[in-house]
Structure 1
Amino acid sequence: MINVRDFQAGDEAATFPVFFSAIHEVASAHYSPELIEAWAPHDTDPQRWAQRIQGIKPFIAMRGGEMVGYADLQDNGYIDHFFVSARAQRIGVASALMRRILQSAAERGILLLYSDVSLSAQGLYQRFGFVIKEQQTFLFRGLEMSNARMELRLALGAGQI
């Protein structure tokens, strides 16, 4: 069973292996090894990482006492991080996280959700009704990266899934 809960102080370090495996083992199917290493470097500073996670306060997906995914929803409707561990793919973790995001948006009165979605995650977002607004190619740490700006407009009272 997958349980999604709010972020708690002390979760910071456990989010990094989730992020790292999602990039290095899942997103690597769509991006070059050089871009993967730039995106999720092996030598990431743990203190800077902790500060970043504390700033976004993600929802945490747990399965069997282990963190298997995390995703956030900012007050402006932006989904910044959305990652599921490589070993927890295709078992409902991403769907559970997205349902929690939609529930939170409804509770907070957020009517527009948007994110810059990697090539490997666009299918998930589309299954939840997000549409591609723009394909994007940009320089990320000196390397060309592609993703899509995706949006979902919610009606008042929507999000109860």
Structure 2
Amino acid sequence: MIRKTICVVNLGDYSKDQVEAWQNIDKLSWSENVATHQALVVVNKEDKIVGFGDMTQEGYLDHLFVDADFQGQGIASLLLQTLETNHAQQTLTTHASITARPFFEARGFHVVREQTVSLRGEKFINYEMMKGED
């Protein structure tokens, strides 16, 4: 689901090489990382995972993905709202892709800074974003 989303949804904002590098996830390190976060999934009637999000105890939203076939149905909003509720007294942060930036801005996050990050030999623009006190 995550690879498909990156390849379909993010291709409009990132090059083919960037998308290839991004979707090449190291499953072991990713699983270890997610294991220390509060993670939520949304499944459809057929028990297919259609959305996923996770947040650290400190309020850092690490991942938020919705299957490319289920975009625009409020799944990301539901995930974010649930995670925010569990961290209501905290400042929330994330590193948002170019694609995700408008979603987060519409939900009260603001850009702290634009940054260029490296991943598997590719450079990406993304945005450090925050919601709450600066």
CA shift, 1:26, in A, is 0.5
**Structure 2: any 5+ residue segments left out of the alignment?**
none
Separation in structure 1 between the aligned mates of residue 3 and residue 19 of structure 2, nearest angstrom? 9
Q: Which amino acid aligns with 1:152?
A: K
2:4 is matched with which residue? 21
RMSD (Å), alpha carbons: 1.7
Matches within 5 A, 1:1-161: 18-41=1-24, 44=25, 46-64=27-45, 65-106=47-88, 109=89, 111-153=90-132
CA shift, 1:52, in A, is 3.6
Does the Cα contact within 8 Å between 2:116 and 2:126 map onto a contact in 1? yes
Q: How many residues align?
A: 132
The normalised TM-score by structure 2 is 0.89
**Structure 1: any 5+ residue segments left out of the alignment?**
1-17, 155-161
CA shift, 1:40, in A, is 1.0
CA shift, 1:72, in A, is 0.9
The normalised TM-score by structure 1 is 0.75
CA shift, 1:131, in A, is 0.3
Separation in structure 2 between the aligned mates of residue 46 and residue 131 of structure 1, nearest angstrom? 30
Q: Percent identity?
A: 27
Q: Which amino acid aligns with 1:124?
A: F
* More strand per residue: 2
Secondary structure at 2:113 match in 1: strand
Give the 3 Å change call, closer, same or farther, for CA 25–47 of structure 1 in structure 2.
Answer: same
Q: Which amino acid aligns with 1:149?
A: E
Separation in structure 2 between the aligned mates of residue 68 and residue 85 of structure 1, nearest angstrom? 5
CA shift, 1:138, in A, is 2.4
